[in-house]
Every structure is written in C-alpha cells, then in structure tokens.
Amino acid sequence: MWSDSMAQAMAARITALLTMLLIISWSGASSAGTSYNSQPCLEGPTNQRGSWYYLFYPNAFNYDHFLGVCNLEGLTSEIEYSGDTTYVNLFPGMGIRSCGRQSNSQYQWGCREPVAFRVQVIDPDAATQFQLRNSAGEILPVDFTLTLEGSPPVNLAPNQWSAAAPHLPGDVRLTPAALQLQIPDPTQIRPGIYEKTFQFTVEQASHTGQYYFDSGSTLAPIDFTVRLVIEPKIRISGLSDVTLTADFSDYTSSDQAFCVYSRNAEFTLRALSLQGTAESAFLLSDGADTIPYEVLAGPKDQNATLLDYNTPYGPWQGALVDGCTANGMNMSLEVRIHPTQLSDARAGIYTDTLTLVVELE
C-alpha cells in the first residue's frame, strides 16, 4: 500500500517533472526566429490566438507574420539607362513590414506593435562597392540606397548592416520603400547589358512580450536581380566656324580638333555641303560664283582621310567620356582650297555650311 508520505513524494516528483517540461516548452520558443517571407505583402494585425495555443502548437508561431518584404523577392528590375541621371529607382511597389507581438499582454501573439529594423544587401563579389557585370566580365561599380516613406535615405554598403543597431522604423502595415541604384560616374559606361542577382535581408530589434516568446526576427536572404541596359549613344561636339584668307601660292586651309563621343562604340562619319551636291562635291559660294574645296577628317592620332561627298568613312572608335574631357579631342578636321581653284576667282566673300554626320555602327 502507498503511504501518505509516499504519495506526497510521488506527487512532488510528478509536479517537478511537469514543471520542467513546461519550462522547456516555453524557453524553446523564446529565441528569435527566421522569417521566410511567406507572407510578404500582409497588412495589419494578424494571428490573434492566445499563448496556450503555441504551447501545444509551436510551429504555429510563425515569424513570417512579423517580418515581410513585398515586391522584391525573385523579381528582376530591368532599366534602360540613358545616362541622364545618376539615380535609378528599382522595384515599384516595394514595401517592408516589421512588427512584433503586443508587449503588455501574454495573449496577443500576432503582428501588433511596430519593431525597428536594419537591412543588408549581400554581394559576394563586392568589397567597397556593389558590382554589375556585362557578358565580357567588365565591372560596373554601383551603390544602393534605401528610403522608407517618411524617413531619410540610407546609403548601403556591401555585406554590411545599415546601422550598428536596428534603427529604421517598423510598422504593422507595409511601409512603402524605394530601393535606388546609384551609378557614380554615368559618363564612363560602355554600351551593353550589366546585371547581377543580389540578396536582401532584414534584422529586427529584439521585441519581447510580457511572458517570453521574443518576436525579434531575421529575414532569410531573398534574391533580387538588377539588369541595366546601356544603349549606344553618340554625340559630336567642339566644332567651330572656319574663316579662310586666300593664299594664291599654296593651299588655303584651316584645321581644328573636335570630339565624337560614343561610349567607346565604333562610328562612321560623312560630310555634306549646303552649296554643293553629289556631283559638284563641296562648294563655297558668293551667290554668283563658286569655289570648290576639300574636306579631310579622321582620328586625331592618324593621317586625315580625304572625304568624298556624303560617303561614310570609318569605322572609328568614339570617346568613352562625353566631350572628350578625359583624354582630349579625338578627331581632326581640315578644310582646304587648292591654289588653282583661286586663280580665276573674283574678289568677295564665299560661304558654305559644312555638315558632319556621325552614325553608330
């Protein structure tokens, strides 16, 4: 038979055992968890079950309620970049939700209160700047900036948290966010397609309720891709009007340097004359008489080519930088009149408009 003392001792053992099991169940759920972004665009308070529910169904305590990033995961932002601005907006409609359970209640376990957070963009190839690459393996350094609605922009560094501690304001609803790509020097980009897949992650501040169950969560890194399409571009600059004074003993000529910018792409050049035609070529005119002249052009470091009327020449490689500000003018132009063309010319002022046309190959 069981004595009262034996029954009391057994009850004490059973009580102790049950208590230990209860503590293990609660403490196991108190560590911060991982959000897998299964509910990226969820809005507002969620999951109103009481604390007893999670004691028996721990998997129901889903950190995806607390942390989500909308309109980013698995998406590609393709931008046709003209080079007119250094900033490019990515992923319209992006939003971030960062919230936690109600801190003054043991019963509210859903998304009830804002929780501060910080973010990180992961690029395994980057050191100080993020990198896009083209098919030839050429690197285009870029930067990322994140702006939350109502907050100042945050400049992001590769593989580093946006701050030493979570500081961006969370919300139980999605906060509109703008992820921007910055191109530090848009003048020095070769044409082509530059792209890469990056990863984005979020870390919440610790947010503990009244009775255990820390709802601080970390977002498992999600992929997003940026594809930057750099279209070929061409511009001619640096040309000025030409004034010639007749020299009857030698060529009457004038030369100058100018720039053809094409982001290093190849181009051709042709010349036309307002007073001339394909048959007569280049002509100066005083309204009654005409004087033929010649046009020579080509890369500055080569011998100039004598041009035929409206005939493409090249291809030649254009400058990488607009205006040729990096290495100086890259093309030369000479206008000249053979002395025999002046022997019978009347005194007067002869004019023409010379047009140079550059076209990408």
- 192, two tokens: 């082509």
User: What are the pLDDT digits (tens) for 94-127?
Assistant: 999 998 877 666 556 667 789 999 999 999 999 8
Find the CATH number of the domain harbouring 243. 2.60.40.2040
Residues 351, 281 share a domain: yes
Residues 352, 245 share a domain: yes
pLDDT at 106: 57
What average pLDDT does range 128-157 have in this prediction?
A: 95
User: What are the pLDDT digits (tens) for 201-237?
Assistant: 999 987 655 444 556 789 999 999 999 998 888 999 9
In a domain, 172, yes or no: yes
In a domain, 18, yes or no: no
pLDDT at 44: 67
What average pLDDT does range 122-140 have in this prediction?
A: 93
Which of 213, 230, 247 represents a domain boundary (last residue)? 230
Mean pLDDT of the chain: 84
In a domain, 196, yes or no: yes
pTM of the complete model = 0.69
Residues 242, 161 share a domain: no
User: What are the pLDDT digits (tens) for 283-293?
Assistant: 999 999 999 99
Which of 177, 199, 230 represents a domain boundary (last residue)? 230
Q: How many domains does the chain have?
A: 2
In a domain, 26, yes or no: no
Residues 265, 195 share a domain: no
In a domain, 20, yes or no: no
In a domain, 92, yes or no: yes
In a domain, 218, yes or no: yes
Please report, rounded to a whole number, the percentage of residues in the chain having pLDDT higher than 70: 81
Give the pLDDT band of residue 341 (cuts 50, 70, 90): very high
pLDDT at 25: 33
149-153, 182-186, 232-236: range with lowest mean pLDDT:
182-186
User: Higher model confidence: residue 330 or residue 54?
Assistant: 330
Residues 306, 214 share a domain: no
Residues 148, 133 share a domain: yes
Residues 207, 74 share a domain: yes
Beta partners for residue 140, in sequence order: 132
pLDDT at 20: 38
In a domain, 314, yes or no: yes
Domain that holds residue 162: 31-230
User: What are the pLDDT digits (tens) for 17-49?
Assistant: 434 333 333 333 334 588 999 889 987 665 545
Find the CATH number of the domain harbouring 192. 2.60.40
Q: Are strands 76-81 and 222-230 parallel, antiparallel or unpaired?
A: parallel
Residues 133, 259 share a domain: no
Residues 207, 68 share a domain: yes
Which of 177, 203, 230 represents a domain boundary (last residue)? 230
User: What are the pLDDT digits (tens) for 48-84?
Assistant: 454 445 444 444 456 788 899 999 999 999 998 877 6
Residues 226, 239 share a domain: no
Residues 283, 213 share a domain: no
User: Higher model confidence: residue 5 or residue 280?
Assistant: 280
What average pLDDT does range 151-168 have in this prediction?
A: 94
pLDDT at 206: 79
Residues 166, 80 share a domain: yes
